[in-house]
């Protein structure tokens, strides 16, 4: 479903991604671990073309992201075409990023109507079903500021799902939450994993990785150091760098 191939990304003199390869199969949950500054967020952002890669390529469901191939040349897609591709790639941020001036329901209805041209009635029906799924059926008409962080993040997840994405990307979805609110958000993500949603989750929640991930990726210094089933990477890491990191967070 997601294929990251030899991706390099530099910011000025700083080489943040130094040849990242990553494959995520349909229906699988991949958890990415790694120290701060290792390039995890940048990698997620390249997958939906919020950052342009300097070298390498990324495809989602067989479609090249940000470019079109003609013959052996690559042409960059127009912003409108990129926006279309992004509707296939849900993104959940650390800080929720809900629209503060829209109610919860409107937050979920906006993109399907504007980007996918769904009839509003249909988009609202879907939105209510998704809110029920994340346990917030009674919050449809509330503004985001009236919700706890955990509730806001559950709305953000429902909003991402409203576009029926082929893959969902989470960038430290629980890092901004008070500890007592982490569980309710992880439970929603767990529930999605059970329904076969393809997901890439950047998180420091090792317990979650152990329980939910099909594959765990350890990144450091802009490369994938190690990847495998949680039992291998978390309990029996082959690389010294992985061991050193885990000994600090476990
Ligand atoms: P992580 O998510 O693993 O903590 P990031 O991908 O956010 O790592 O960042 C990797 C490195 O790239 C950091 O050193 C960060 O400061 C730098 N970086 C990220 N985005 C930018 C940017 N837009 N401009 C310059 N430097 C950036
Ligand atoms: Mg980050």
* CA angle (227, 228, 234) in 5-degree steps: 90
Q: Are strands 63-64 and 67-70 parallel, antiparallel or unpaired?
A: unpaired
Q: Is 36 in the pocket of ligand 1 (CB under 6 A)?
A: yes
Q: Is 11 in the pocket of ligand 1 (CB under 6 A)?
A: yes
What pLDDT score does 249 carry? 87
Question: Can you tell me which atom of ligand 1 is nearest the CA of 36?
Answer: 4
Ligand 2 centre to CA of 39 (Å) is 7
For residue 168, the cross-strand partners are 90, 199
The closest alpha carbon to 227, from 25, 2, 65, 33, belongs to 33
Tell me phi and psi for residue 240, to 5 degrees.
Answer: -60, -40
What pLDDT score does 250 carry? 77
What pLDDT score does 156 carry? 98
Ligand 1 centre to CA of 13 (Å) is 12
**Rounded CA separation 100/146 (Å):** 10
Q: Is 46 in the pocket of ligand 1 (CB under 6 A)?
A: no
Q: What is the mean pLDDT of each run of 10 residues along the chain (250 residues)?
A: 98 97 97 97 96 96 94 92 95 96 98 94 98 97 98 98 97 96 97 95 96 97 97 97 93
First to last CA, the chain: 31
Q: Is 38 in the pocket of ligand 1 (CB under 6 A)?
A: yes
């Amino acid at each position: 479903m997601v294929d990251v191939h030899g991706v390099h990304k530099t910011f000025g003199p700083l080489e943040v991604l130094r040849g990242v390869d990553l494959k995520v199969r349909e229906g699988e949950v991949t958890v990415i671990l790694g120290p701060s500054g290792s390039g995890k967020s940048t990698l997620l952002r390249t997958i939906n073309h919020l950052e342009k890669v300097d070298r390498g390529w990324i495809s989602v469901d067989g479609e090249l992201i940000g470019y079109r191939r003609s013959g052996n040349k690559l042409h960059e897609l127009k912003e409108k075409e990129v926006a279309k591709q992004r509707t296939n790639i849900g993104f959940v941020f650390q800080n929720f990023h809900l629209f503060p001036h829209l109610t919860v329901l409107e937050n979920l209805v906006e993109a399907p109507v504007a980007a996918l041209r769904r009839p509003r009635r249909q988009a609202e029906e879907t939105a209510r079903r998704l809110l029920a799924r994340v346990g917030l059926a009674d919050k449809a008409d509330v503004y985001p500021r009236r919700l706890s962080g955990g509730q806001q993040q559950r709305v953000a997840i429902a909003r991402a799902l409203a576009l029926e994405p082929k893959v969902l990307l989470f960038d430290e979805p629980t890092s901004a939450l008070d500890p007592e609110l982490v569980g309710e958000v992880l439970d929603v993500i767990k529930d999605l994993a059970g329904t076969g949603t393809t997901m890439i989750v950047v998180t420091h929640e090792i317990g979650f990785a152990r329980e939910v991930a099909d594959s765990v990726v350890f990144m450091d210094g802009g490369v994938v150091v190690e990847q495998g089933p949680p039992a291998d990477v978390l309990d029996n890491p082959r690389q010294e760098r992985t061991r050193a990191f885990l000994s600090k967070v476990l």
